[in-house]
Amino acid sequence: MSKIWIISIFIIMILVISPIISYSQPLSATDATGFTLSLSQPPNRIISLSPGNTEILFALGLKDKIVGVTTYCDEPPEALEKEKIGNVTEIDLEKILTLQPDLILASSLTPEETIDRLHELNLPVFTLKSETIDQVIEDIAKVSVLSGVELSGSALVKTMKDNLKKITDLTQLIPNQQKPLVFHIIWHDPIWTAGSGTFINEFITFAGGKNVAEDIQGYSTIDFEEILRRNPSIITVIKDHGKNEENQLYQFVTTDNRLRSVTAVKNNRVYLVDSNLVSRPGPRVILALQYFAQIIHPEIFGEYQPK
């Protein structure tokens, strides 16, 4: 009997003390590199080193705390007005130092040496390296904790999880043989596609399709013949912002003589998808998934009408 008492008291003590302990270090999280960053107070000068990170910060309502972004950060448009610290791979360390950041969000695109250098300089770096939609959501939660906006973070996370579930609940019901074959094309010379382990693969799979390149790892070339042999019924074509090659690529897929026997081309089911939307690990991954769901199953999710 006394044992139970002791254990109960012990548990109660833990329950009472743990919030106090965690309250003394409220802003702490471990990043993809295994580094645990602890901040004594919510950051007021945040630098984002990738477009995806910038989108996360804006979505968490931290736009006034952002002091530096990359030249590629164009979403939301207000990001364009922020101070630039370089592009994604070439980063101006001096600029970062003069901006006196109290939080730097690095990404999988940030060169390792840059991240190491930032650590050496004792700057508060946190690296986001998500490879799946779930990890993106997790990362958003971590950033919200670090930035002291846990509340808006959990709201955003909940909305994302709900919307994700809405889509996957419906696509899970689709029997495997009714899942259309989807081919995603990034470049035509050579043919460059997205295999398993990419966001694209997850979008296609979660949206109730089957990626014809799923036997390939990551982004890679694929033998031209394989497109004909695997005969996708849907082709998604990457579209770069304001570049002429999106037309070139789309034109290639829809007009090249060699692709005319492919079901997707015959049935006019070739769709342009925004490259930034489908490649950035940020809050819009759910929108990207929704678009893929509309492309693959318009009968369930309605017509694909990107903004």
Partner 1 sequence: MNIAKKRLIILILIIILILSMIFSLGIGGGRFQVSDLLSFFQPSSLSLSEKTILFEIRLPRLILTVLVGAALSLSGAVLQGLFQNPLVDPYVLGISSGGAVGAIVAILSGISLGFITLPLFSFIFALATTFLVLRLGKIGTKMPLEIMLLAGVAIGFFFSALISLGMFLAGENLHQMVFWMMGGFWNSSWNKVITLLPLFIIGIPIVFSYSRELNAFLLGEKVAESMGVDVEKTKKILLLVTSLLVAGSVSVSGVIGFVGLVVPHIIRIIIGDDHRQLLPASFFLGSSVLLWADIFSRTLLHPVELPVGVLTSLMGAPFFIYLLRRKKKGW
Q: Which residues bind partner 1 (CB under 8 A)?
A: 72, 87, 90, 187-192, 213, 215-216, 220-226, 228-229, 231, 240, 243-245, 247-248, 252, 256-258, 260-262
Least distance (Å) between residue 161 CB and partner 1? 31
Token digits of residue 235: 């082709």
Least distance (Å) between residue 248 CB and partner 1? 6
Instruction: Return the exposure string of 172-193: e unless at least 16 CB atoms fall within 10 Å of the residue's CB, then b.
Output: eebeeeebbbbbbbbebeebbb
CA distance 228 to 230: 6
CA distance 139 to 255: 41
Please enumerate in sequence order all residues whose Cβ is within 8 A of that of 85, keeping only pairs 6 or more positions apart, or say none.
47, 49, 68, 69, 70, 91, 92, 95, 96, 99
Least distance (Å) between residue 78 CB and partner 1? 22
Least distance (Å) between residue 113 CB and partner 1? 16
Please say which residue, 101 or 281, places its beta carbon nearer to partner 1: 281
Please say which residue, 34 or 242, places its beta carbon nearer to partner 1: 242
Least distance (Å) between residue 106 CB and partner 1? 18
Please enumerate in sequence order all residues whose Cβ is within 8 A of that of 41, keeping only pairs 6 or more positions apart, or say none.
27, 148
CA distance 57 to 50: 11
Provide the 10 A C-beta neighbour count for residue 269: 19
Token digits of residue 114: 């840059």
Please say which residue, 51 or 124, places its beta carbon nearer to partner 1: 51
CA distance 195 to 250: 20
Least distance (Å) between residue 13 CB and partner 1? 56
CA distance 85 to 71: 8
Least distance (Å) between residue 119 CB and partner 1? 25
Please say which residue, 22 or 248, places its beta carbon nearer to partner 1: 248
Please say which residue, 33 or 231, places its beta carbon nearer to partner 1: 231
Least distance (Å) between residue 247 CB and partner 1? 8
Please say which residue, 92 or 226, places its beta carbon nearer to partner 1: 226
Please say which residue, 86 or 153, places its beta carbon nearer to partner 1: 86
Please enumerate in sequence order all residues whose Cβ is within 8 A of that of 103, keeping only pairs 6 or more positions apart, or say none.
39, 43, 45, 46, 47, 124, 126, 146, 147
Please say which residue, 165 or 260, places its beta carbon nearer to partner 1: 260
For 151, how many CA atoms within 13 A lie in the half-sphere containing its CB? Answer: 0
